[in-house]
Amino acid sequence: MYPPYERRKGYATSIVTQISQLALDKGFTKCVLYTDLENPTSNSIYRKIGYMPICDSLQLKFEY
């Protein structure tokens, strides 16, 4: 996590945008992000740069 004085400067948005574009430029047809639905900051960033929610996922751990 960034220190408070470095927050809200667009670093995360820039990084995710550039990495997503790099993947598309390399020929990938899709970029997928797994996010924490309870983190409105990251979810807002992802929507702002063009990602859209398509489904929820669930991770299960079976113990024997």
Residue 40 DSSP class: H
Q: Given pLDDT bands bounded at 50, 70 and 90, which one contains residue 6?
A: confident
How is residue 26 written in tokens?
Answer: 């390399």
pLDDT at 24 over 80: yes
DSSP reduced 3-state for 42: helix
On the question of pLDDT at 46 being above 80, the answer is: yes
**Would you say residue 1 has pLDDT above 70?**
no
